[in-house]
Structure 1
């Protein structure tokens, strides 16, 4: 059984309470979209960031400037909603103890998020002191579930994927780890149920990160 030498955490819903209303975000984005393209194509299955990119690409086919304008307006809306949500957010009680404890024990850590860095630092100003690498969507060309996001973080902390664990509260996080070749762990502190998380077959499951740390220690992974 391989020891885990490092852990990459998701942020919202994993280390901090999830306060962003993604349904409301998509509703507002669609309102902007209809001003540019009506009717909008059926792409409700796409997350907000990918939806914006898709519609912008559709618009840019005929008018590149229109595509850029749409993309800019949507990104401003997303960032403003993220920052506003962060003002009302807070860390889970176990976040500081876990990150500090892992540092002291020599386990490498990183945090990757599809959120903007300003929003994360509103909740956790010293994020870069508490982990070896922090990468928001602003720091990569391709956000998770693209493996670039986690692979770049692993490169910063000098860790091979097979010795790392990706921890998150969403299917996207588990997909990210699997695509990059890490072990994966799902925690039910976001909006996904245990049953939904089980469907993607993570290597570990726990109600929260605190319970997960206990499972990893008891199984001899540290």
Structure 2
């Protein structure tokens, strides 16, 4: 029996691992350090979640962008393990998909080493054949470069793949690459926000993905 979907591409932050508090705390610390005259609320920071930090800081403070990126990454490195959390059911679902021989990959806007650290802390690294970080592509999501690279390296066709993520960048990148897309309802930005970008599926638990790919079998 041939599976219609053979390849599952995942975002990391907010999709497989709950890094929301780490990201928010890191942005707060960085912005306080470099822009103390301004006040950024939690709600102000939410739009910063998803795009590459290089892009965010270049827009906020071009003259200090490189320093802010360095500070941000140092803070993340120091506080990473204590602030990340797991989402219920993710480990079990990813293990099940791996055991059923789906090709699993990460396409993230985080740099490769930080992605791997998060996967290892959560015990997920052993399930993924491929990880593509921000430092391995020329253009970040919603550009399809990372997804296209993953498909090539995994020897998969677009109509055999699905991109799963918590942000509009993930959905648009999937559409731009010609793959199916799935949003996650546990996104910090909310299910209604993601639905505006019309993903093919909306997951209310990672277990939903198992049912979707099984139903897609011929």
Q: Which residue of 144, 148, 151 corresponds with 1:151? A: 148
Give the TM-score, by structure 2 length: 0.77
Which sections of structure 1, spanning at least 5 residues, go unmatched?
36-43, 60-69
Is residue 216 of structure 2 the alignment partner of residue 220 of structure 1? yes
Deviates more, 1:77-86 or 1:20-29: 20-29
Partner of 1:13: 14
Q: Tell me if structure 2 keeps the 8 A contact 1:18–1:190.
A: no
Aligned to 1:62: none
Q: Pick the aligned partner of 1:79 from 73, 85, 102.
A: 73
Larger Rg: 1
By how many angstroms is 1:25 displaced?
4.8
Show structure 2 runs of 5+ residues with no match: 37-44
Residues 158, 192 of structure 1: alpha-carbon distance in 2 compared, 3 angstrom cutoff = same
C-alpha separation in 1, matches of 2:56 and 2:69: 11
Listed one character per residue, the Cα deviations across residues 4-54 of structure 1 (whole Å, up to 9, x for unaligned) are: 11110111111111334555555555566669xxxxxxxx97744313345
In the TM superposition, what is the alpha-carbon distance from 1:144 to its structure 2 partner? 1.6
User: Given the alignment of the two structures, is residue 176 of structure 1 paired with residue 176 of structure 2, yes or no?
Assistant: no
Residue 40 (structure 2) aligns with: none
Change (3 A) 1:179 1:116: same
SS class of match (1:124): helix
Distance 1:117 1:127, change over 3 A: farther
- 1:204 equivalenced with 2:201 (yes/no): yes
Q: Deviations over 1:38-79 (max 9, x none)?
A: xxxxxx9774431334568x65xxxxxxxxxx3431221221
Q: What SS does structure 2 have at the residue aligned with 1:154?
A: helix
Question: TM-score, normalised on structure 1?
Answer: 0.76
- RMSD between superposed Cα atoms in Å: 2.9
Aligned residues: 202
Q: How does 1:1-222 map to 2 (within 5 A)?
A: 3-20=4-21, 22=23, 25-26=26-27, 47=51, 48-54=53-59, 59=63, 70-83=64-77, 84-125=79-120, 127-217=124-214, 219-221=215-217
* Aligned-pair CA distance for 1:102: 2.0
State the distance in 1 between where 2:65 and 2:16 align: 29
